[in-house]
Chains A and B, each alone.
Chain A
Amino acid sequence: MALIETPTPHAAQPAETRTTKPTGRRKPRTWPNLVVLFLGALVFLFPFYYMVVGSLQAKPDTSLGGAFPTGGLTLHNYAEINSRVDLGSSLVNSGIFTGGVILGTVVFGVLAGYALARLHFRGRGVLFASMLLVQIVPFQLLIIPIYVMIVRTYGLADTYLGMILPFAINSTAVFVFRQFFLQLPEDLFSAARLDGAGEFRILWSVALPLVKPALLTAVLLTFIGPWNEFLWPFLVTKDASMQPLAVTLANYISNIAGRASNPFGAILAGAVVLAAPAVALFTVFQRHFTASDLGSGVKG
């Protein structure tokens, strides 16, 4: 449980410093840090602000003043991109792709994480080692053979199954589940077993309720993969009606945008639609996405 707590700022430290140095001269001044941090945050957030502003302007105004318009904002660009590409069905495709991966990860990942943490069975060591190995082999190496298998051998091009399969169980999430199940006290499990509960029952009624916060973290972690993924769905979908939003927008940027009246406006409108769900989710649940959650999970 400790893992999901936001690391508490050293509450005790100022008091201690005061006792050792009564002058208080050594008490760390934090405002210079704050200034640097806020300037940094500005660099990180400005492009998002600019994305929204640019998407609402009828004509691109790239001067500094143009970033702070006083009026004339319009939703025209959203209508423009929606008339060129089907935003609605792209969003649905992104949703199905992401939902499928999350479902696969939660169902099979929890089972695997529980087995890896709590059950002794033949092959556990090999499975654990493979799980770690997956984290360091770049997915891109597998692009060609997986493309050969899924598109050429099994003919799954332009299907949701073909899109989902390579990501179906997120190994980082399996690792997170394992870590959380591992932290639960062994007594809990032996007591439940003594009471005659089967392993499935123990997982469902004892372990799972205790690791609910981990579930949320793992779902968030899993979400960013498929929602933002570009290369794989780009390779597997040629039919525009099957493409998730990242692919639709990328194709719009590289092929169609030149013909629009305000190409950047329409592109930015699409970018806002693509970015909004992820930004919203992570802002709402930011408490659940902290350093220690990621500390062990290798890649995002």
Chain B
Amino acid sequence: MVPAMRTDVGTVTTPRRPSSRQRVTTLLGRHPLGILFAAPYAVFLAALFAYPLGLAVWISFHDYFFAAPGAVVARPFVGFANYVTVLSDPAVRRSFLNVGEFLVINVPLTVVLALVLATALNSVVHARSFLRTSYYVPYVTASVALVAVWLFLFSQDGMVNQLLGPLAPDPSWLVNSQLAMPVIALFVTWKQLGFFILLYLAALQGVSKELYEAASIDGAGKVRSFMSITVPGVRPVTTLAVILATITGANLFTEPYLLTNGGGPDGASTSPVFVMYQKGIEQGNPDVAAAIGVILVIVVLVISLIYRRLLERD
């Protein structure tokens, strides 16, 4: 037994070239194989995320147009010309204002409803998984399929107008320039709410139960506990939820394309991404479309930073 042990120890201490090994370690890290494992993902990110990101900015500063593959064409640098075109275009400004209207409705509604429903869901014992599943089913279903039902529900002779009878708006919801964007905002709130309920449910698990008990002993009612314990307790998730809802709003495309038949009526429900599609791909001006994209991302980043400031104060 003993000799065997000794040879074992001997083999462990034999490696005679620590220097080259060390060199590999300092150059590639302790597990060089990790580079191989991560390589496909790294290549993917470089080719389909980092490069296009740079290309988007590059295109937005050049006179870029589509050409046949392989054709060598001049695409001169034009400075901020595309940005000037974009910012002076009323259709683009309209689309940004539309999304602003969308966000004003969608973000508060999403955050309040998600937190209230998650809190209620957290307090019940029965039928939890049934309820939870009901709430996130719209989230996992394709927008295109859900738009189909909403088209049916909110059409001129649809069920919503039937129920409202004489109170039905005229012109009807989706062809009414005052109501088209609010209907889209409601649709997206309804579709995404389940995701935000799940986020808040996770956050609520982290709020200490003792706080509620203490508050209840001190005579605080349900509403008071909710406002003074739950709301501050989940504040980081509220910041996240507000930012995510804003990003979702900035990405709006399918709903204006299908629900209001191409941003109608008369451009009242266009979105920046929809205008990007029209200008970039339908009309063949990718440079202008890229400039819209860059502006959109900058606006989203600025709004997110403002939210963080506002929500994480105190």
Contacts and interface: CB of A to CB of B under 8 A. Distances in A.
B273 A295 contact: no
Nearest to B119: A33
A292 interface: yes
A127 B37 CA distance: 12
Interface in B110-165: 117, 120-121, 123-153, 155, 157-159, 161-163
A106 interface: no
A37 B198 contact: no
A9 B201 CA distance: 11
Nearest to B113: A40
B40 A279 contact: no
A198 B148 CA distance: 53
B53 A137 contact: yes
Interface string A143-169: 111111100111100000000011011
A268 interface: yes
A163 to B, nearest CB: 13
A44 B159 contact: no
A44 B138 contact: yes
B251 to A, nearest CB: 5
A123 B35 contact: yes
Centre residue among A26, A118, A145, A147 by max chain B CB count within 10 A: A145
Q: Which range contains the number of B residues in contact with the other chain?
A: 35 or more
Contacts, number: 339
A127 B293 contact: no
Interface residues of A, number: 114
A122 interface: yes
A89 interface: no
Contact of A227 (B29, B44, B142, B194): B142
Contacts of B45: 127, 130-131, 134, 171
Contact of B254 (A64, A123, A231, A289): A231
Nearest to A229: B142
Contacts of B124: 9, 30, 33-34, 37
Given A9-B128, A294-B195, A235 B38 contact: no
Interface string B286-314: 10011001101100100000000000000
Contact of A271 (B31, B140, B145, B162): B145
A108 to B, nearest CB: 4
A50 B280 CA distance: 37
B140 to A, nearest CB: 5
Given A62-B158, A137-B53, A44 B190 contact: yes
B126 A144 contact: no
Contacts of A299: 244, 247
Nearest to A67: B159
A47 interface: yes
Main secondary structure of the interface of A (DSSP, over half): helix
A102 to B, nearest CB: 15
A17 B212 CA distance: 11
Contacts of B155: 62, 264
Contacts of A246: 142-145
Interface string A23-43: 000101010011011101101
Nearest to A167: B48
B44 A138 contact: no
A54 B195 contact: no
B254 A230 contact: yes
A127 to B, nearest CB: 6
Nearest to B252: A140
A20 interface: yes
A142 B130 CA distance: 38
A87 to B, nearest CB: 13
Contacts of A40: 117, 131, 135
Interface of A: 6-7, 9-10, 13, 16-17, 20, 26, 28, 30, 33-34, 36-38, 40-41, 43-45, 47-48, 50-51, 54, 60, 62-64, 66-67, 108-109, 111-112, 114-116, 118-124, 127, 130-131, 133-134, 136-149, 152-155, 165-166, 168-169, 171, 174, 198-200, 203, 224, 227-228, 230-231, 235, 246, 249-250, 253-254, 264, 267-268, 270-272, 274-275, 278-279, 281-283, 286-287, 289-292, 294-295, 298-300
17 contacts: A45-B134, A47-B138, A50-B153, A62-B157, A63-B162, A108-B40, A120-B30, A127-B45, A137-B297, A140-B293, A144-B276, A145-B53, A148-B55, A165-B48, A250-B144, A282-B136, A291-B198
Given A37-B127, A127-B45, A253-B144, 4 more contacts: A62-B157, A140-B250, A275-B146, A300-B195
